[in-house]
A and B are shown apart, each in its own frame.
Chain A
Amino acid sequence: MTTVAPKPDNMKISGGGGYRTRLTDPLHRPFYKKMAPILSIKDLHYTYGSGKESVNALRGIDLEIDKGEIFGFLGPNGAGKTTTIKIILGILAPRRGRVELGGKSPLEAASRKRVGYMPETADYYRFLTPAELLYMYGDICGVERSVLRERIPELFRLVDLEGLSGRLMRTFSKGMMQKVSFAQALVNDPEFLVLDEPTSGLDPVSRTHMRDTLNHLRERGKTVFFSSHELSEVETISDRIGILNRGEIAACGPVHELLGEKSEGQSLENYFLKMIGKH
């Protein structure tokens, strides 16, 4: 388990430019964080198709995610969130720009060794049990069997699927599949966790439990990058948020700073709508 130094109380984060974390020391002298970000995206472009029918999904994204933070990634449908996530995970190759995950290109399989990903929806292999699925993913990640034997029951306790780990997944509901999905994302004890709509399909109790788990992961120094349409949830757990609109970052920073900069007491929903030009 890795730990990171606690963030100073007087931390200030700039909203524009390259979205770098700007810190001030007790004497209020500005300096920039020395630690390399776990995720660095520079001038990222991505286009689907070619010629007249091409669609610019991403138009020059700059983003840096520091180790140990929870970053909420927001945007309307079609804004480019999923494309960004696929590029971060090495599933798509950027057309232009640079992405570094732990200092390496995500296209290198080794850079994904300590990455966990929970997709918005996935209909996991119905002929397998959740335990078999987690062993399979653990083997793919190269996790030792002895470690898996200890970790997998813990994960089932964490996602509240204890007792169901030996049942075939063909009988599982959407919510139960989401829990399995969350467990598989954690099977390699990831340093960097990417969650796409993690609470979709979960009941209110499970949502609260998920939020607590994410906070717990942050305490353990894990970095969480998650996309969601649940603005209240994003507001509650994110250290910073980024709003993506039409392939560009419309805003980025801590929620309280973003809301404070515009007008006192406005809700994230109003701010979000304003940023995507719907207000």
Chain B
Amino acid sequence: MRAVLAIIKGMIKDLVRRKDFYVLLVFLLVLMAVMASQNFFQIKGVTRYMRDLGYSIVMLLSFIIAVTFTAKQIPAEIEARTIYPLLAKPLTRYSFIAGKYLGGVVVSLMSFTVFYLVYGLFFVTGGEAWSAPLLAQGFFFGVLFLFMVCAMVIFLSNFMTFSANVTISFLIYIIVSGFSDTLRDSILRAKGVLSVIEGVIFYIMPHFDFFDMRVRLAHSWDPLPAWVVAAVAVYTLVYCLFLLYFSQAVFSRRKL
């Protein structure tokens, strides 16, 4: 466990000392300030639109940090040849993968927390009704989302270079976020082999759409029932465990 923590600490120092996070934070602050200024006349539709857009931006920026930070971990260790002194220490490959995954999660969550605080401030001062449980649910779903993104990226980094991993991860994010409903409808309409193929793709792909709280936050609907939250949490846990199991299985057989 101490070895895993040591790897996580190293990744946190990397986040704090690089400019990426600060650039994204300034970008978010500017955007939020611009959006807040648009709501000067407290027009209801505009506030909802801003809440929707704000949440999307926070999730996207957190996704960028999670993907770019996690995707570079294993390829960068191999390229810089630092993986050799690391694995020559009493560190199992499983611990190495666990450290890199949890490091990615912690770094992403740190960034997400800061981004979400900015969003939360914008949300509660927007002039419309707001509910703390709903805001908390939005945060919790963001946390689950990042657990899943990091697991997917660590899994892909066993097979891909940094840039290929980032590209594929973004494509999956866009496809799942934008076309998940279309694919589901298509499965219902399809018949025979095509239906099976589409079904397999639909159930295998990471359902980032499960974590999408935009509409609920924008319209200040009631928070989701506890069983839905629990179901999404279990789905995330199982999906992450599968991805991590296969990641360490592939990595432990990898010739370095």
Contacts and interface: CB of A to CB of B under 8 A. Distances in A.
A124 B82 contact: yes
B interface SS class: helix
A122 B90 contact: no
Nearest to B18: A127
Interface of B: 2-3, 5-7, 9-10, 13-14, 17-18, 79-82, 84-92, 95, 255-256
B87 A139 contact: no
Contacts of B79: 123
A123 B90 contact: no
B89 A112 contact: yes
B17 A121 contact: no
B81 A121 contact: yes
B17 A181 contact: no
A90 B88 contact: yes
A125 to B, nearest CB: 7
A173 to B, nearest CB: 16
Given A109-B92, A124-B80, A127-B14, A139 B5 contact: yes
20 contacts: A86-B256, A91-B87, A109-B90, A113-B90, A118-B85, A119-B81, A119-B84, A122-B85, A123-B81, A125-B14, A127-B18, A128-B13, A135-B6, A136-B9, A136-B10, A137-B6, A139-B2, A139-B5, A139-B9, A140-B6
Interface string A89-130: 111100000000000000001111101111101111101100
Interface residues of A, number: 37
Contacts of A70: none
Contact of A128 (B10, B81, B85): B10
A139 B14 contact: no
B101 to A, nearest CB: 16
B1 to A, nearest CB: 10
Contact of A125 (B2, B10, B89, B256): B10
Given A48-B255, A122-B84, A141-B89, 12 more contacts: A89-B84, A89-B88, A90-B87, A91-B84, A115-B88, A122-B85, A128-B14, A137-B86, A139-B2, A139-B9, A140-B3, A140-B89
A106 to B, nearest CB: 9
A112 B84 contact: no
B2 to A, nearest CB: 5
